[in-house]
Structure 1
Amino acid sequence: MRLIQQNPDLSAYLAADEVIDHDHPLIRETADRLRTGGADAYSYAKAAYEFVRDTVPHSADAQDPRVTWRASDVLALRTGICYAKAHALAALLRAQSIPTALCYQRLADDDGTNAVVHGLVAVRLPGRASWARQDPRGNKPGVDAQFSPEGERLAWTVRPECNEIDYPVLYDAPHPVVLSALRAAPDRHRLWRTLPTAL
């Protein structure tokens, strides 16, 4: 799959904003703690990925009703759906100067119905000419996502026969449709009814 940069300037994928607030003290402290012993960029990226994947439960798996969307809130409250966890990982990686993009898939049931947009990230590690998608959603029975810059080990591989899509665009900020759904939802149950079905 060919990934397409939304912004040709890599600095856009290092920026802080209201959502990917890597200038927040909690993000900085967490990033510093994960980069112990002068770890190189690869080791740090793997540690940050595993931290978000494994220590921030996906709110649906944990039956947590809270909705988070700002990276620092995801880490403070230790909850979030795929989009929120992607925001947290992007913040941790950008905090250590690793360009990180947000990207999306459209997933569906086996018969192609009940489509929903799924969020993940893509990283550009030093010395590499291409982006590598990573999915920090969180593992569970049937899902075994792993940090893998060489070959993708995502939570799900899309099935075109089920009307699923890998969206190729790499966004430097959350897609407006995604962010709007997160911000408008008072709890996860209502968010589930308003999740984007396509981009």
Structure 2
Amino acid sequence: MELIQNTPDLSAYLAADEVVDHHHPRVRETAARLAEGAVDSYAYARAAYEFVRDTIPHSQDSGDPRVTWRASDVLEKRTGICYAKAHALAALLRAEDIPTGFAYQRLTDDGGGHVVHGLVAVRFHGSWHRQDPRGNKPGVDARFSLDGERLAFVADPQSNELDYPVLYSEPHPAVRGALEAASDRPHLWKTLPTAL
């Protein structure tokens, strides 16, 4: 899928902010630990992806009611939904100077409506490659790949699902707003964005 950058300046996809706080000691420590065994930026990106995918449970899968949204909090509390896990992965990648943006899908939810799903895209070899650190479970087998997408979910146009083509340098305001306003995950589930 061809992604359209929302800003032509790649430095925006390396920036730190309140959400992607890659200057935070927790993020820096985690990045340094992951970088120790990596021979190059590709190996580091794969290690960071697998760390977030496999060691930070998706809060819906684990039943954790806490809502996290800041990357350092996701890493500290070891919980988050797809958006939060994308924020943590983006921080770890940007900490090692790997341009990373936010991508979104509109997917069918359990009630027959739609919900926005969050993931990231990394820039390697002059192209953006979407990666989904949501976390695997029965029926979901996402993998880090630069040779064709291995996402958690494939959008089905027959179900009015879609891949949003815009790549954001910061989390979408609707996503950030829902996360910040939620008192717990059950509350968040009622206020998740249904479209962007």
- Normalized against structure 1, the TM-score is what? 0.96
1:155 correspondence with 2:152: yes
Distance of 2:129 and 2:178 partners within structure 1: 26
Residue type of the alignment partner of 2:57: P
Q: Which residue of 1 aligns with 2:161?
A: 164
1:136 correspondence with 2:130: no
Q: Which residue of 2 aligns with 1:197?
A: 194
Distance of 2:122 and 2:83 partners within structure 1: 16
Distance of 1:123 and 1:16 partners within structure 2: 16
Q: Which residue of 2 aligns with 1:175?
A: 172
Matched-pair contact (CA < 8 Å) for 2:53–2:134: yes
Identity across the alignment (%): 72
TM-superposition CA deviations, 1:11-63 (whole Å, max 9, x none):
00000000000000010000000011452000000000000000000000000
Q: Which residue of 1 aligns with 2:119?
A: 120
Q: CA deviation at 1:114?
A: 1.7
Q: Which residue of 1 aligns with 2:2?
A: 2
1:23 correspondence with 2:23: yes
1:146 correspondence with 2:147: no
- Paired residue secondary structure (1:102): strand
1:49 correspondence with 2:49: yes
13-22 or 38-47, larger mean C-alpha shift: 38-47
Gaps of 5+ in 1: none
Distance of 1:39 and 1:85 partners within structure 2: 24
Q: CA deviation at 1:87?
A: 0.1
Gaps of 5+ in 2: none
Which aligned pairs between 1:33-48 and structure 2 lie closer than 5 A? Answer: 33-37=33-37, 39-48=39-48
State the superposition RMSD in angstroms: 1.2
Q: Which residue of 1 aligns with 2:83?
A: 83
